[in-house]
Structure 1
Amino acid sequence: MRLSRSLAPVTVALALVLTLPYDALPHARASAGKPPAPSRFGASCRTTVQGSHVVTYCHNPYVDTDRVRLHIECARWWDIDTDSVPVDAGPAMTVRLTGRCWKEIGSVWVSHQKAR
């Protein structure tokens, strides 16, 4: 008699869990809270520096258009740093960016922005 009374709450709890919809279960809530996978974006760029001249080729293998821009920091304090005009690299498109300093190049980088 005692054994059947202790099984009654367990049986009721099991019946309730089995009748719950899938979304109400704990594992369904945990997976629903995850953010979606990030979309692939961004052109890959190859930069060449020869003396005071910089040439960069950026290829965009993805669907979204990438607005790329070349930034050049010159080594000399009196030399003017430059930023190129933004260029849209569409899907499967390669663009060429160029720039220069009067003397030596200090550093070069390319910025990426998603075009709307």
Structure 2
Amino acid sequence: MRLSRSLAPVTIALALVLSLPYDAMPHTLAGDGKPPSPSPFGATCRAAVRGSHVVAYCHNPYADIDRVRLHVECTRWWDIDTDSAPVDAGPAMTVRLTGRCWEEVRTVWVSHQKVS
């Protein structure tokens, strides 16, 4: 008799959990309990500034296409900052990006966009 009293709450709890909709139930992760890591992406870029000219080389070692753009910010307030046209760096491909200011270059960076 005692055994049935102790099983009654467990049975009721199990029935309630099994009657919940799928979205309300906690989900377990497969494998080691960690979410899957994102696939590697992004070209490695190196930029060189010589006077007012900028050259950047971007190499993409991954399978996904990386659309890269060179952004050049000039030092002088009257000098126009420039953004290069986007260039697709395919798998195992190296691309060259160029830009310039009229006088000094303040900062240079490359933006990346994943191509679907």
The TM-score range, normalised by the shorter chain, is: 0.7 to 0.9
Distance 1:38 1:110 in 2: 21
1:91-102 pair list within 5 angstroms: 91-102=91-102
Aligned residue number for residue 90 of structure 1: 90
Distance 1:37 1:81 in 2: 37
SS across alignment from 2:29? helix
- State the 1:36 CA deviation: 1.9
The one-letter code sitting in structure 1 at the alignment partner of 2:65 is T
Aligned residue number for residue 12 of structure 2: none
Structure label with greater radius of gyration: 1
Tell me how large the CA RMSD over aligned residues is: 2.8
Aligned residue number for residue 39 of structure 2: 39
Distance 2:105 2:88 in 1: 25
Distance 1:101 1:90 in 2: 28
Say whether 1:56 aligns with 2:61. no
The one-letter code sitting in structure 2 at the alignment partner of 1:55 is V
Distance 1:34 1:40 in 2: 17
Distance 1:55 1:37 in 2: 33
SS across alignment from 1:103? coil
SS across alignment from 1:31? coil
The one-letter code sitting in structure 2 at the alignment partner of 1:45 is C
Distance 2:35 2:85 in 1: 34
TM-score calculated relative to the size of structure 1: 0.74
Aligned residue number for residue 17 of structure 1: none
- State the 1:34 CA deviation: 4.5
Contiguous gaps of at least 5 residues in structure 2: 8-26
The one-letter code sitting in structure 2 at the alignment partner of 1:31 is L
Aligned residues: 104
- Percent identity over the alignment? 74
